[in-house]
């Protein structure tokens, strides 16, 4: 299997207002077996679609649009009265967003007086905003409104949390492949990429996984490990059989 990787080679300053510019050098790598931890929806960043069978490349392009997207809103606080850290908190329907969301907290390892409160909300691929359509104005506007409304939810349900946060972080990205008709169970792509010998996709759930999310990815990785070990055992077995034959010749 042959793939492309990129890395920084040097840093300089561009002509526009002295802005830093990073030069990247792309290079290829080749190995008999490669386990790719790149998410399926981003696989074409390392593998050329020209190396895949046309129907399989099209399948991957279709799959990447069927994701469960995850929005997170994080607040850092230094007051215990702003958040009850005894367990997770679930909101069935936000007063402003009208969406369900949940949250949990984690104390800083090196500063027990500080706590990081992380809230998260799941959004299906059919809804706005959609990660893979963020170039479109309507999705940009939807993302902006989502966080504004979500902040309003927090201020209404957890008074003082947003107002007294030391800092706030917002993020939005794909979480996992969502189950939809034709995109579930055995209908999902296989661990072994069609058309590229030795390429194993372990960055997301495949037909080897029974569930979505992190656990589905773990099932995929374990199944890939079993297949790779089986392949390696076969290669070693062939080598062992070939050695005596070569010695006898």
CATH (domain of 133):
3.30.70
Quick check: 151 and 70 in contact, CB under 8 A? no
Are 73 and 162 members of one domain? yes
Rounded CA separation 23/21 (Å) = 7
Are 171 and 126 members of one domain? yes
| Domain-located, residue 16 | no
The total domain count for the chain is: 2
| Domain-located, residue 35 | yes
| Domain-located, residue 22 | no
Are 129 and 99 members of one domain? yes
Indicate the burial class of 160 (C-beta count within 10 angstroms; 0-12, 13-18, 19 or more). middle
Quote the pLDDT of residue 97: 97
Are 104 and 169 members of one domain? yes
Of 141, 161, 197, 152, nearest in space to 2 by CA: 197
Are 139 and 161 members of one domain? yes
Quote the pLDDT of residue 24: 54
Rounded CA separation 129/116 (Å) = 25
Quote the pLDDT of residue 232: 84
* Tokens of residue 177, six digits: 């492949």
Domain range for residue 45?
31-65+182-237
| Domain-located, residue 123 | yes
* Tokens of residue 45, six digits: 């960043």
Rounded CA separation 150/159 (Å) = 13
Are 143 and 72 members of one domain? yes
Residue 172: which residues within 8 A CB-CB, separation 6 or more?
69, 70, 71, 72, 129, 131, 143
Quick check: 212 and 67 in contact, CB under 8 A? no
DSSP one-letter code for 51: G
| Domain-located, residue 5 | no
| Domain-located, residue 59 | yes
Are 93 and 168 members of one domain? yes
Are 109 and 78 members of one domain? yes
Rounded CA separation 40/46 (Å) = 11
Give average pLDDT by consecutive 10-residue segment, the chain, 249 residues: 48 46 60 82 83 84 79 94 89 96 86 88 92 92 97 97 95 81 72 83 78 79 89 66 47
Quote the pLDDT of residue 123: 93
């Amino acid at each position: 299997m042959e793939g492309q990787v990129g890395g920084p080679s040097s840093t300089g300053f561009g002509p526009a207002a002295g802005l830093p510019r990073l030069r990247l050098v792309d290079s290829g790598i080749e190995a008999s077996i490669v386990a790719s931890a790149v998410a399926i929806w981003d696989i074409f960043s390392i593998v050329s679609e020209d190396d895949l069978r046309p129907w399989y490349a099209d399948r991957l392009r279709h799959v990447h649009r069927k994701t469960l997207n995850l929005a997170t809103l994080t607040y850092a606080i230094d007051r215990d009265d702003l958040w009850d850290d005894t367990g997770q908190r679930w909101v069935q329907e936000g007063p402003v967003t009208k969406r369900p969301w949940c949250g949990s907290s984690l104390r800083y390892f090196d500063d027990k007086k500080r706590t990081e409160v992380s809230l998260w909300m799941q959004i299906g691929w059919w809804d706005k905003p959609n990660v893979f359509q963020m170039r479109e104005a309507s999705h940009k506007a939807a993302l902006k409104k989502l966080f504004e409304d979500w902040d309003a939810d927090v201020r209404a349900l957890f008074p003082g949390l947003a107002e007294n946060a030391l800092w706030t972080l917002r993020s939005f990205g794909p979480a996992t492949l969502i189950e939809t008709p034709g995109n579930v169970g055995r209908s999902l792509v296989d661990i072994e990429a069609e058309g590229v010998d030795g390429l194993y996709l372990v960055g997301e759930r495949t037909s080897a996984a029974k569930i979505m999310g992190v656990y589905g990815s773990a099932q995929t990785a374990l199944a890939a490990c079993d297949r790779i070990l089986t392949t390696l055992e076969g290669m070693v077995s062939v080598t062992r059989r070939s050695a005596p034959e070569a010695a006898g010749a």
